[in-house]
Amino acid sequence: MVAAAAGAEAPVRGSNITVIAGASAGTVFEWYDFFLYGSLASVITEHFFSGVNATTGYIFALLAFAAGFAVRPFGAIVFGRLGDLWGRKNTFLVTMVLMGLSTFSVGLLPSYAAWGVISPIALISLRLIQGLALGGEYGGAATYVAEHAPEGKRGLYTSWIQITATFGLMLSLVVIILVRTRLGEDAFKAWAWRIPFLVSALLLIVSLWIRLKLNESPVFQQMVAEGKTSKAPLTESFGQWPNLKLVILALLGMTAGQAVVWYTGQFYALTFLEKFVKIEGVLTNELVAVALLLGTPFFLVFGWLSDKIGRKPIILAGCLLAALTYFPIFKAIVASANPALAAASASSPVTVVADPADCSVQFDLIGKATFASSCDIAKSTLANAGVSYRNEAAPAGTVATVKIGATAVPSFNGKALSAKDLKTQKAAWTRTLAGDLKTAGYPAKADPAKINFPLTVFWLWLLAVYVTMVYGPIAAALVEMFPARIRYTSMSLPYHIGNGWFGGFLTPTAFAMVVASGNIYFGLWFPVTVAAATFVIGLLFVKEMRGAPIEA
């Protein structure tokens, strides 16, 4: 016990540096693997979901990304249990191998054109394996570092683990940018998009080499030596009300809000810039990468600050700021990144005047619906053009009309047309609409020469700072909430339900909300509502645990 205490008080050098570097480096590479898919959603749509209409295909691609998040809680249960029974180090070695191999396999997977429906099924299967592996990774890495941290520095030490997610995203963006710029956009879209996935094999080898050098957590070694490890971590974690109550509070009062703030700032911002602000892919990646790079040091700042004033005040402040400012920030992003779009939206607002019965929710699980009504044709064309609109009801049986300021563009009813004729007529109508939109000042793409780069990066950086506020202290907060014998299992589940379900489904849900409403800002209601709810629940019911003992 004396030796353990002495080790706990050691300064941050030698073995402590190795612990942080080893756990963090391995986690960076795992996040790199996971985030590649989200960063390439548009390209994935073309290769694996080309058998459906464009809007449904993009939502499918986002849902396939979210599928990896959907199974993360199950991975948390499986690998969390192993981590409490078998050890922290051994468990996150297994999760790393699963993650790396599944990512490498995506780079080899034939497209829809070659394999048909088997291709997207295989893709989603690999995403599920990734999600299961990541469900066991975070809890192990966070627990491992926290159990090595000296007194009073737990927030600072574990904030290095929090940085890994952003570093992983930045690494994926950098690799994508390099491949795109070196080989060209045409080659990238045709085949070179596979290179970032294949590169993960090299990262896997490096990650394994680093982590094999680590020793087991001293707290776990102490539990083993004293015979205090849990024989039934699942039952103790979720079958006993005192601990189950903590799991629920950790989810609703901390990780749900943390997740939506994190994914809005790092992922939905990418989708928003590319799909709605109409900035081309490489530039979108570069803007977000710069903002994340500038924001990354604040993970350490807020991790350190949480050791001084507590985890709860910082996390809840981040949730509150996000809930209060997301709408004005995203409107400011449009004004600075595509001023022509902002000006056209103000001077010539677009309205879809249609019979409500003629309008569908344009998401087809089978992927074979044509959405050929006049309302659906109008709305899908506007959504794919990234043009925000409002809805106005028309009398029953009326053919939908798109009003661009004072200009009216009648749609057409394609239900009675053959697939070929529908495609031809819709293409002609789309060109007509595009011409009228252009005349009204709506740009087909954002003009790089007119982008206010410093201001756009500032707004994206501010979103990143919110991310660091909620995410920097979260590992220390979760570790301190639960006893060592069931810590891996208990903290992993609320973290991965929050980040896997609330966070992982944010982008496809928000995008579908935008398509359904016509308002490019409407999807923000999802993160705003969840973040506000977390602020209230956390403020009223979550206990501050800063400095709580975490030994066995």
pLDDT for position 31: 74
- 381: nearest Cα among 54, 57, 58: 54
- Radius of gyration in angstroms for the set of CA atoms belonging to the chain, rounded to a whole number: 24
pLDDT for position 53: 63
Distance CA 348, CA 335 (A): 15
Asked: is 347-439 a CATH 2.30.30 domain? The reply is no
DSSP letters of 1-49?
Answer: -HHHHHHHT--SSTHHHHHHHHHHHHHHHHHHHHHHHHHTHHHHHHHHS
Distance CA 480, CA 543 (A): 11
Residue type, 32: Y
Backbone angles phi, psi at 40, to 5 degrees: -115, 30
pLDDT for position 14: 37
pLDDT per residue over 519-536, tens digit each? 899 999 999 999 999 999
pLDDT for position 505: 82
Backbone angles phi, psi at 393, to 5 degrees: -75, 140
SS3 state of residue 351: strand
The pLDDT tens digits along the chain (552 residues) read 333 333 334 433 335 777 777 777 767 776 787 678 767 877 887 888 776 666 667 767 767 777 777 888 888 888 878 777 777 777 878 888 888 888 899 899 998 888 887 888 888 888 888 888 877 777 777 888 888 888 889 999 999 888 887 788 788 888 988 998 999 989 998 999 999 999 888 888 887 887 777 777 777 777 777 777 777 788 888 888 988 999 999 999 999 999 999 999 988 998 899 888 999 888 998 898 899 889 999 999 999 999 999 999 999 999 999 999 999 999 999 999 999 999 999 999 999 999 999 887 765 544 455 678 999 899 888 877 778 899 999 999 999 999 999 899 999 998 888 888 988 999 999 999 999 999 999 998 999 999 999 999 999 999 999 999 999 999 999 999 988 888 888 888 898 888 888 987 888 788 878 877 888 999 999 999 999 999 999 999 999 989 787 765
Backbone angles phi, psi at 235, to 5 degrees: -65, -45
pLDDT for position 34: 66
pLDDT for position 8: 38
pLDDT for position 504: 78
CATH H-level superfamily of 2-338+449-541: MFS general substrate transporter like domains (1.20.1250.20)
Backbone angles phi, psi at 146, to 5 degrees: -60, -35
> For the whole model, what pTM was predicted?
0.82
Distance CA 285, CA 368 (A): 32
For residue 395 the two structure tokens come to 């009398």
Residue in the block written with tokens 């070196």: 182
2-338+449-541 and 347-439 share one CATH topology?
no
pLDDT for position 54: 66
pLDDT for position 26: 67
Distance CA 264, CA 281 (A): 18
The 3-class secondary structure across 256-318, one letter per residue, is: HHHHHHHHHHHHHHHHHHHHHCCCCHHHHHHHHHHHHHHHCHHHHHHHHHHHHHCHHHHHHHH
- What lies within 8 Å, CB to CB, of 205 at 6+ separation is none
Q: Give domain limits for the chain.
A: 2-338+449-541, 347-439
Distance CA 35, CA 489 (A): 24
